[in-house]
Structure 1
Amino acid sequence: MKRVAFAVVGIALVAGVIVLRDTGGSDGLPSAPPPPTKLKPFVADQVLVPGPQTRPSTPVNVKADPGNHRLRLAWTGEAPAYEVRWAGGVKLVTRPGTQLNGLENDRPVDVEIRAVDEFGQRSQPAKATASPQADRTEYTYADRFDATDEPDLQRWRLSKRTDCARATSGDGEDSKRLIISSSCGTRAVTLRSRTPFVRSSDGESRLAVETDAPGTGGKLLLDLVPGPVSVQGDPVPPNTVRATVSTDNSGNSIVELTPDGTAVKAIPPAVPGVSVLWEIALTSEGTRVLRNGEVVATSPFVPQWREATALVGIAALAGDRIRAGIDLIGYRTAKVDVPPTGPTPQVRVDGPAATSPHPLPDVTAGQLRIAMIPSRESEPLTSIKVNGIAVPLRPAVEGTPWKPGAEYPAVADLPKEAFTDNVNVQLETQERIQITHTDVELTGSKPTPQRQPGTPLVDAKPTLADPVPEVLDASGQPVENGAAFNRGRVVLEVRIAALDAAVAGLAGFEIRLDGNHIATVPTTADGPSAAGRWRISLNATAMTAGAHAIEVKAFSTDSEVHPETGYVPFLLKP
């Protein structure tokens, strides 16, 4: 057989399994033909490939939990994937649960759920019928984000360090909810409520957020900050209550509560795409975090402040793109009205002096919020120039330290010269200070209702899960990392799995050994599969000693979904 180049094999041996993404043609080059959506079986000599066996068992214990414009579904089963069908569509999932969004309240929805095995065989359907229902929970302030042009800018502001995120109405199945989409990496994208969180004079107060965030490898941040802060960073401002929910690559959920929080209950793994109600409850005895009504973390901390800014943020743990749906944000607090708002001006940092801003009518007050990171030890910045006028600058939260590398949120009251459509901000200092965020709040005698329709930055199109190949010995056991295999029979195990809310249909995969095509395994017996584990036996007796490489390329039944490729190297003994 043909040998692959030693340079390539050497890289693979260091990196282990490598997954490459086929991104199509480049500018100026002819486009490659579309990938196949149907595969024909092929098996070379000395290769044994498994085939379909008995059909999978029908899922059992189906439960349909109605919510506002949605149904949460759960069932019991051990299949690698499931097909969910309803009048609005069909999707493949890899966990025994999912959520159907964008439904009409009080209208029955018939659902069929089939188990799907590695080769695309379907079970008989499990059936359920349920009707979505409006949320009847009483809140002193709530937004359910079910308009067609969310978010309402009188209620919300989206804060991010760069233009890498959007907050928009959902599209398709995600309609009737707010979608926050981000390619900002590990930096949090923050939805700030303009309505103050004002604690009740007696009893407890709660911030409630219902969302399918965090997704796999993601993080959800819920903050109550005693000051006009717009972004969520580290360190956490003094006397701030923060609940951090993270999900690792295996789907496990972890909750941290600041300050002085302790986890009190293990949290079940999150079902991808299914909304969870998270609450921060403040009482006279301490602070609690609740998940779907159950306490999961507590702290003895009792805030001394009465009013705070509520912030809801999402971030990626590994720099991935994120798309998160928010169904509800509500307060159970003292009754507070949404403050009036004026136009939102453009903010420039150290912009050209020739900028000529135009006055905005009916504006009565304004505030600049800014976040900065000093590069070295120095005195805190106490003034700033706005449209050429020096104004005092104060910490957004008293006691926030000014120290190198730490984000410092500050605020300044704007002069009337800054009630314009263009606000120029200048730092008058010789110190090196990085500005990470600015935003301006203008209020006026004639409030300006604002909404911001748009398209999510990250679409909801299902993607193909990555193939992960591994070479095992003749008994199906792994060998020590880097060790050589005996000349004889080896086993190639191919795993395809994902924790996404929905995955693209799998047409099958091709296997190449040292560049030579040795097998094609279709997975569409009754329709596309989505995940599974396959073991292919290879006779290595006639292969040369030394380094070899296997490539596994998976194809989708959707021609618009890019194939995914995994590589694995291995060594044979002389």
Structure 2
Amino acid sequence: MLRRAGYVAGGLVLVAGAVVALRNVDAPSEQNPPPPAPIQTTVKEFVNEAAVAPKPGARPERPANLTLIPGPHRLQVTWAAKTPGYEVQLRGDGDVLRTRLVAGNAMQFDGLENTVEYQVDVRAVDSFGQRSEPSTARKRPSANRPDESRYALVDHFDGPVAPDPARWRLANNAACARMTRGLGDDSRRLVISAACGNESVALRSRTPLQLKDIGGELGRMMIETDCPAKDGSLVLDLVPGPADLIDTSPPPGTLRVKITADSVTLPGADAVAIPPKTGLSVRWELVLRTDGLSLWRDGTKVAASGFVPTWTTATPLFGFTGPPNGLTYIGIDAIGLSSADTPPFVAPPRITSTNISRAANTELMAGVLGGQLRMTVRTTIREQMMPFTVEIAGRAFPARPAVEGHVFAPSYRFPIVADLPADALVLSGDRRELRITVRGANPAISPVVQHAELELIPDPATKPSPNQAEPPPEPAARPALMLASFDTQFLDAAGQKIENNEIMSRSRVVLEVNADGGSAQAGLAGVEIFVDNKRIVGIPTMVDGPAVAGQWRVALNSGAFEPGPHILEVKAVSTDPNVAPGFTNTTWSIPR
């Protein structure tokens, strides 16, 4: 018995040893974690008994009216077709240099050489990735620009310093955006990259627009940019005061022009519909005259108004709002103003309103006689906030509205300014930052400081210290491509939308899946449909290559599902392993 027990015990030891050895080699542990699951980049065709999936039809027709529009270091490409997506290829000396997948009928290649002739091929792409024969055209970029003789200040952002901080400042909420020279294809452009949700950012000109009657024209401002995209807006503001960041409740006297992809609105006039030009850089020009305003797009007047401002000097702001996902990437090719009187510039320090503790090491700002602190504050508290004060290093300074007569309202951005003497410009800590606190009429209430900027007065007798200036941001790269956005709806046998997804009878219904893209998209490998976490349909979209966007109608037998509510989910899979899949889901209800 003892020998038997010993044998068994020995056997257990041996088996345990074998198990341990196997675990050391094959099983995951803290030292040897399991390999990651492979990233899905394909979709297999699949249909269960409750569904009927669509099939590819005839190949799409080739795009018509292919046109190449040359510009400085760029080619704009437009065509006519009615398919969900397109594949656009740029060739030089026969080689494919770039390939883009787009959902619109226009796109732009930047960063080209003006002396090289390029070939562009455009193929229509349907919902299943089928491609048409290509339409082809050839052209060189052109160094020629539109007439800019009426602008005293023009910046093409192609100098050694771009952007020039003495000319342009960026205002945004809590450093959610940055303004830099672009990289790669955008290296000859100014780029604004932001992740600010639905909040706008503003590019401020330090050069004011000064009105002067010259043959009936008072002044003008211009921007050439690819904003607005399909979603979002571009706003041109002329504010009669030192404001940096405003929103839908602008200061009194502000001249505001709002531009979306398909409309423009001038003060004193109704919105005017315009044909979209998304995916392309567009030159917008606002002309102020003694008899009203006019707005021009690429040399063509698109809107007019009889509005004439009463002020003679204003701060130009170029406001940008991005798409619903909050990610904004804007290319700017040129900005122009009819005025060129730029004030002297001293690079400002970092400013913080979140770190107000006293630092052991402090120093005064060098080379300045004082400055104006420009702030944008906001609060939802419905109490009397005015007058405001600003506290710096234990001292309080009065703050006033940036525009006289502007009354604070809760929830809206409110620009204020405070004049600071030189001895108030105390920089704290190793970061050499100006630490501020803004308080309302009740000192216990502090509004949120969304943005703060310091305009400094140089001291001709001394020089500023470069170590005290806020360092410039790193250049911004283009964001990674994303899949088109998806949505769903249920249709009855007549093709009409079923309201609230409430199926009235246990019969066949149609699930319509729509994917709507933009000017640059990731490739789509396929679509999968799940009901209550069970896959019922897989639709590959890679016949000739990845699809871009599209529409798929799937017939569902509602009688195959249990009565009651069900969760339906659509998953979109990219061909690129670095692109996250897209998901959309909805709830539908089946009667008993």
TM-score of the aligned structures, taking structure 2 as reference length:
0.82
Q: Is 1:439 matched with 2:453?
A: yes
Between stretches 45-54 and 118-127, larger displacement belongs to 45-54
CA distance in 1, matches of 2:160, 2:568: 49
Q: Is 1:533 matched with 2:551?
A: yes
CA distance in 1, matches of 2:437, 2:555: 68
Q: Which aligned pairs between 1:499-514 and structure 2 lie closer than 5 A? A: 500-514=518-532
CA distance in 2, matches of 1:82, 1:163: 36
Partners of 1:150 and 1:169 within 8 A in 2: yes
Amino acid at match of 2:299: G
Structure-1 residue corresponding to 2:269: 261
Structure 1 unaligned runs (5+)? Answer: 1-28, 248-252
Q: Is 1:223 matched with 2:234?
A: no
Amino acid at match of 1:454: E
Which secondary structure does the structure 2 equivalent of 1:484 belong to? Answer: coil
Gap change, CA 1:107 and 1:433, over 3 Å in 2: same
Amino acid at match of 1:84: V
Partners of 1:207 and 1:281 within 8 A in 2: yes
Between stretches 79-88 and 347-356, larger displacement belongs to 347-356
Gap change, CA 1:283 and 1:523, over 3 Å in 2: same
Amino acid at match of 1:141: L
CA distance in 1, matches of 2:138, 2:377: 53
Structure-2 residue corresponding to 1:452: 472
CA distance in 1, matches of 2:170, 2:330: 14
Partners of 1:165 and 1:183 within 8 A in 2: yes
Structure-1 residue corresponding to 2:147: 137
Shift of 1:322: 1.8
Partners of 1:152 and 1:450 within 8 A in 2: no
Q: Is 1:101 matched with 2:121?
A: no
CA distance in 2, matches of 1:168, 1:230: 18
Residue 183 of structure 2: which of 166, 171, 196 is its match?
Answer: 171
Amino acid at match of 2:374: R
Q: Is 1:552 matched with 2:570?
A: yes
CA distance in 1, matches of 2:402, 2:193: 27
Partners of 1:386 and 1:414 within 8 A in 2: no
Partners of 1:152 and 1:451 within 8 A in 2: no
Structure-1 residue corresponding to 2:204: 192
Structure-1 residue corresponding to 2:43: 39
Q: Is 1:522 matched with 2:529?
A: no
Gap change, CA 1:420 and 1:524, over 3 Å in 2: same
CA distance in 2, matches of 1:50, 1:426: 62
Work out which of the two has the higher radius of gyration on C-alpha atoms and give 1 or 2.
2
Shift of 1:549: 4.0
Structure-2 residue corresponding to 1:18: none
Partners of 1:380 and 1:402 within 8 A in 2: yes
Shift of 1:64: 1.5
Per-residue displacement from partner, 1:483-529 (whole Å, max 9, x unpaired)? 3253343333222222x221111111223344333332211111111
Shift of 1:423: 2.8
CA distance in 2, matches of 1:465, 1:235: 33
Shift of 1:453: 4.8
Amino acid at match of 2:542: T
CA distance in 2, matches of 1:315, 1:68: 26
Partners of 2:489 and 2:501 within 8 A in 1: no
Q: Is 1:74 matched with 2:78?
A: yes
Q: Is 1:86 matched with 2:90?
A: yes
Between stretches 73-82 and 168-177, larger displacement belongs to 168-177
CA distance in 2, matches of 1:226, 1:352: 35
Gap change, CA 1:292 and 1:509, over 3 Å in 2: same
Which secondary structure does the structure 1 equivalent of 2:175 belong to? Answer: coil
Amino acid at match of 2:455: E
Residue 362 of structure 2: which of 357, 380, 385 is its match?
Answer: 357
Amino acid at match of 1:153: P
Which secondary structure does the structure 1 equivalent of 2:260 belong to? Answer: strand
Which secondary structure does the structure 2 equivalent of 1:162 belong to? Answer: helix
Partners of 2:60 and 2:131 within 8 A in 1: yes
Structure-1 residue corresponding to 2:420: 414
Between stretches 164-173 and 113-122, larger displacement belongs to 164-173
Shift of 1:573: 4.1
Structure 2 unaligned runs (5+)? Answer: 1-32, 92-96, 428-432
CA distance in 2, matches of 1:405, 1:541: 50
CA distance in 1, matches of 2:160, 2:132: 38
Q: Which aligned pairs between 1:243-282 and structure 2 lie closer than 5 A? A: 243-247=257-261, 253-258=262-267, 260-263=268-271, 265-271=272-278, 273-282=279-288
Gap change, CA 1:389 and 1:573, over 3 Å in 2: closer
Structure-1 residue corresponding to 2:298: 292
Partners of 1:492 and 1:538 within 8 A in 2: yes
Per-residue displacement from partner, 1:53-106 (whole Å, max 9, x unpaired)? 221111011111222322221111011110000033101111111122222234
Partners of 1:223 and 1:310 within 8 A in 2: yes
Which secondary structure does the structure 1 equivalent of 2:273 belong to? Answer: coil
Q: Is 1:425 matched with 2:445?
A: no
CA distance in 2, matches of 1:547, 1:509: 23
Partners of 2:437 and 2:446 within 8 A in 1: no
Structure-2 residue corresponding to 1:401: 407
Q: Is 1:496 matched with 2:515?
A: yes
Gap change, CA 1:30 and 1:530, over 3 Å in 2: farther
Partners of 2:181 and 2:187 within 8 A in 1: yes
Partners of 2:231 and 2:323 within 8 A in 1: yes
Shift of 1:478: 3.2
RMSD: 3.0
Q: Which aligned pairs between 1:370-409 and structure 2 lie closer than 5 A? A: 370-373=375-378, 375=381, 378=384, 380-381=386-387, 384-388=390-394, 391=397, 393-409=399-415
Shift of 1:365: 4.4
Between stretches 377-386 and 78-87, larger displacement belongs to 377-386
CA distance in 2, matches of 1:70, 1:326: 13
Gap change, CA 1:373 and 1:502, over 3 Å in 2: closer
Partners of 1:471 and 1:568 within 8 A in 2: no
CA distance in 1, matches of 2:589, 2:411: 47
Structure-2 residue corresponding to 1:464: 483
Q: Which aligned pairs between 1:311-326 and structure 2 lie closer than 5 A? A: 311-316=317-322, 318=324, 320-326=326-332
Structure-1 residue corresponding to 2:9: none
Per-residue displacement from partner, 1:309-359 (whole Å, max 9, x unpaired)? 11111124746222222221111x24x243332232122448234464323
Amino acid at match of 1:104: E
Q: Is 1:158 matched with 2:162?
A: no
Partners of 1:42 and 1:521 within 8 A in 2: yes
Partners of 1:370 and 1:410 within 8 A in 2: yes
Amino acid at match of 1:137: D
Shift of 1:147: 5.2
TM-score of the aligned structures, taking structure 1 as reference length:
0.84
The structure with more helix, counted as a fraction of residues: 2
Gap change, CA 1:417 and 1:122, over 3 Å in 2: same
Which secondary structure does the structure 1 equivalent of 2:362 belong to? Answer: coil
Amino acid at match of 2:555: S
CA distance in 2, matches of 1:535, 1:304: 57
Per-residue displacement from partner, 1:224-264 (whole Å, max 9, x unpaired)? 112221112342122221112235xxxxx232223x2334x
Which secondary structure does the structure 1 equivalent of 2:173 belong to? Answer: coil
Gap change, CA 1:454 and 1:31, over 3 Å in 2: farther
CA distance in 2, matches of 1:147, 1:453: 17
Structure-1 residue corresponding to 2:346: 342
How many residues align? The count is 534
Structure-2 residue corresponding to 1:564: 582
Structure-2 residue corresponding to 1:25: none
Between stretches 93-102 and 546-555, larger displacement belongs to 546-555
- Higher relative contact order (Cα pairs below 8 Å, separated by 6+ residues): 1
Shift of 1:450: 9.3
